[in-house]
Amino acid sequence: MFDWQFGVLLLSNGILIGLMYSLIALGFVLVYKATDAINFAQGEFVMIAGFVVAVAIAAYGAPLWLAVAVGLAGMIGFGFALERVMLRKLIGRPVIAVVMATIGLAAVLRGFGPLVWGAGTKSLPLPIPEEPVVLGPLFIPPIQLVGAGVSLLFLAAFSWFFLRSRRGIAMRAVADNQQVAMAMGINVERYFGLAWAMTGIVSALGGIVWGNLLGVDVQLSLVGLKVFPVVILGGLDSIPGAIVGGLIVGLVENIAAGYIDPYVGGGTKDFAPYVLMIVALMVRPYGIFGKAIIERI
């Protein structure tokens, strides 16, 4: 017999977790919109941001507002420095060069975090009650409500930035064709740096929210891999796609965990989004809201 209350609980949790996935997916979208390349180190960015905030609170006794400010400033500076030192030399090169650079960076950061701050799991406390919010049949963890709210706020802000602001339109032009953008007088290097700095902001926010939910250790970087189906489903260059993709993945995960795991012993939650991603690639490889690219030879 179908338990509708259990079903509603799964749907509500799936929606909230999906919105939290969308925040991390926004990091992929920002880099892709500006550079036309995929940042495979997005999960490691989230991990490093979580380490910085957690260590600032636990080891140095910093108040939360100061730890968050340090995390945001540190990730913004890291984004600018990364673009300046490593990625600026790749402007005008094939996109695969940037992709391979981010894969190598991901491996370095996975070793750097535990090496500097230790391999143990660190808590990231937030002034949020642990008691779930009860709304009829729903039992909602407050951190999920906060994470979903932060995600919606920043997704709306970045949507406006790319659609309405001159800098956002210039970043889209840079992603479309770097050489033409330079010929039109756009400072490509500046917008590369801005894109990576914005990704640092998203990573810091994601590291705080997911660090509180899961704890901060090297496993936190796996959030980036879990979010990858989100951007493939929604479209790598679409902010609305990041929202829709996140909702789909969050719902699929929770429904699989609730209705399939009891019969197979668990594990479907982890691979169901990737099955969905493979199907989406076969049917609509550029995503639900992605831009179809047609090359004529």
Report yes or no: 192 and 35 within 8 Å, Cβ to Cβ.
yes
Q: Which of 281, 282, 221 has its CA nearest to residue 49?
A: 221
pLDDT value at position 58? Answer: 86
In the chain, what are the domain boundaries? 26-123+134-220
pLDDT for 106-118, tens place per residue?
A: 999 999 888 888 8
Higher pLDDT, 140 or 247: 247
CA angle 240, 246, 250 (to 5 degrees): 155
pLDDT value at position 1? Answer: 46
The rounded distance, in Å, linking the Cα atoms of 93 and 246 is 31
Q: Percentage of the chain with pLDDT > 90?
A: 19
Q: Which of 61-75, 135-149, 257-271, 273-287 has the highest mean pLDDT?
A: 61-75
- pLDDT bin (cut points 50, 70, 90) of residue 293 is low
pLDDT for 46-64, tens place per residue?
A: 999 999 999 999 888 889 8
The rounded distance, in Å, linking the Cα atoms of 226 and 60 is 31
Q: Which of 19, 13, 14 has its CA nearest to residue 149?
A: 19
145 Cβ partners below 8 Å, 6+ apart? 16, 133
Report yes or no: 216 and 54 within 8 Å, Cβ to Cβ.
yes
Q: Work out the average pLDDT over 242-267.
A: 86
Mean confidence (pLDDT) of the chain:
84
pLDDT for 143-201, tens place per residue?
A: 888 888 988 898 888 888 888 888 888 877 777 777 777 777 778 778 888 888 889 99
DSSP 59: T
- Three-class SS of residue 138? strand
pLDDT for 87-142, tens place per residue?
A: 777 766 777 887 888 889 899 999 988 888 888 889 888 888 888 887 777 778 88
